[in-house]
Amino acid sequence: MEVIGIVLLGLPMTLLVTAASFAFGAIGGIPLMLGLRSRHRVVRLAVRLVVDVIRGVPTIVWLFLLYFGFAIGVFRFSSLGAAIVGLGVISSAYLAEMYRGGFATLPKGQLEAAQALGLGRRTTFVRVLAPQALRTALPSAATYLMALIKDSSIASTVGVIEMVAAATAYSRQNPGTAGLTPFLAAAAVYVVISVPLAIATRRLDARLSRSHA
């Protein structure tokens, strides 16, 4: 059972990388979403290109580029830094797309009602449109978060000692059939985190759709 203990040593790092890069993406997605919704065609196209490029490059390539290929003067990314920024940038692009989708499905009447009441542009956006768009984006954002928990294992490729890295290290020291057990242990821990999250998301979604429709 020591194997579970070893794998769990990586759990805090798994959670840290996931939470930090999701937070990065949740905030970074806002300016990208604004760009995707810009009134200016040039801005829209430029941001669209950025988002598609970010999403088009595999996660592991992003992490390698940041970790091995990025240097400004003496500045270089640490393992953890590269993992958080890399996964964060990718998350920004995906979440921007989800936010945009949330706004796109808002009934036109919501904007018009706010305008007709005489609410200013900022108030209309922040208090009327954004909460509804976020609510629409919530299920897909939660699904993305669950995928991100698992994708955080890619951080092991640049030297972050999260669960999969811990399992790999244990496996190398214990060849043979015992070598698979740390990965099974890691899989179990991922499931134990993901399933409750999925249940919580469905509950929240059901509660919101009852009252907010």
Partner 1 sequence: MNQNLITESNEIAHAGVVIEHLSKSFGSNRVLDDISIIVKPGSVTALIGPSGSGKSTLLRCINLLETPDAGTVTVGSQVVTAGRRIPERELLALRRQVGMVFQSFNLFPHFSVLRNVAFPQERILGRSRAEAEERALTLLERVGLKDKAHHHPAQCSGGQQQRIAIVRALALSPRVMLFDEPTSALDPEVGVEVLAVMRELADAGMTMIVVTHEMQFAREVSDHLVVMADGHIVEEGDPAGIMADPQEERTRRFLNAVLER
Rounded-to-10 torsion of CA 145, 151, 189, 191: 60
Closest C-alpha among 31, 180, 151, 171 to residue 84: 151
Q: Which of 59, 110, 157, 194 touches partner 1 (CB under 8 A)?
A: 110
The interface region with partner 1, picked from 26-34, 43-51, 111-119, 156-164 by CB under 8 A, is 111-119
Q: What is the DSSP string of 128-147?
A: IIHHHHHHHHHHHHHHHHHH
Q: Which letter does DSSP use for residue 71 in this model?
A: E
Report if residue 45 touches partner 1, rule: CB under 8 A. no
Q: State how far the Cα of 27 lies from the Cα of 20, in Å rounded to an integer.
A: 11
- By CB under 8 A, is residue 206 in contact with partner 1? no
Measured from the CB atom, is 121 or 172 closer to partner 1? 121
Residue 55-94 contact track with partner 1, rule CB under 8 A, x = bound: ----------------------------------------
Question: Minimal distance in Å, beta carbon 211 to partner 1?
Answer: 5
118 binds partner 1 (CB under 8 A): yes
By beta-carbon proximity to partner 1, the closer residue of 72 and 116 is 116
What gap in Å lies between CA 129 and CA 127, rounded to an integer?
A: 6
To which H or E segment does residue 72 belong? strand 71-72
Report DSSP state, residue 187: H
**Structure-block tokens of residue 147:** 């995928």
Q: Which is nearer to partner 1, 73 or 107 (CB)?
A: 107
From the CB of 133, what's the least distance to partner 1, in Å?
Answer: 10
Q: Which residues bind partner 1 (CB under 8 A)?
A: 107, 109-110, 112-121, 123, 127-128, 131-132, 135, 211-213
